[in-house]
Amino acid sequence: MNIRVLSAAAVCAAFFVTPADAAVTVIGPGPAAICYQAAEIGASPADYMTYCDQALAGMLTNDDRAATFVNRGVLRLSLNDFDAAAADFRSGLALNGSLGEGYVDLGAVQIAHRQYAEAIADINKGLKLGTKKPYLAYYDRAMASEALGNLQGAYDDYRQALQLEPDFTKASDELKRFKIVDKPGGA
């Protein structure tokens, strides 16, 4: 079995970063919780960034501070402020290296910077640590794999993303571009 992409849009698709949407939970009232909620639901970043800033300027547990950095990074990522988002993800991970979402989100930034191998490594680490929305990780990893020419890996990850989240139209749309063909000679 051989997988071919139906259009030249295959490589171009890898340059469109999906909003990471992999926020880290913060429990309780206050600006850190509002920052988390904004990152989780994909709220307008400009309207909620100040809550993240307020939270980071205040007293937080180490875990909540790490989560808030990641959540602010998600908001910055949705504004295409890739360098600031990467700095936030790295700050959060420096405080708590077990945040799978932080690694997946950092992978999304690396895709935007066309650092595909690095993106795959970080996304793999995020998947290993665990993430609340693994379908997004598989989708992002598929984009990076496709950009590196690994069509089989991309196809498998788009399928995995769709299997985990059957209503994830971005993955189903990507899969429509692929065509399965038999290799010559029956191999």
For residue 99, what are the domain limits? 2-186
- pTM listed for this prediction: 0.86
Q: Would you state the pLDDT for residue 28?
A: 65
Q: Would you state the pLDDT for residue 74?
A: 94
CATH number reported for the structural domain that contains residue 152 in this entry: 1.25.40.10
Q: Would you state the pLDDT for residue 146?
A: 97
Question: How many domains would you assign to the chain?
Answer: 1
What would the two tokens of residue 53 be?
Answer: 């800033």
DSSP 121-179: HHHHHHHHH--S-HHHHHHHHHHHHHHTT-HHHHHHHHHHHHHHSTT-HHHHHHHTTEE
Q: Would you state the pLDDT for residue 110?
A: 97
Q: Would you state the pLDDT for residue 19?
A: 45
Residue owning tokens 């009232």: 29
Segments in the chain below pLDDT 70: 1-22, 24, 26-28, 186-187
Q: Would you state the pLDDT for residue 60?
A: 93
Q: How far apart are CA 19 and CA 38, in angstroms?
A: 13
Q: Would you state the pLDDT for residue 136?
A: 96
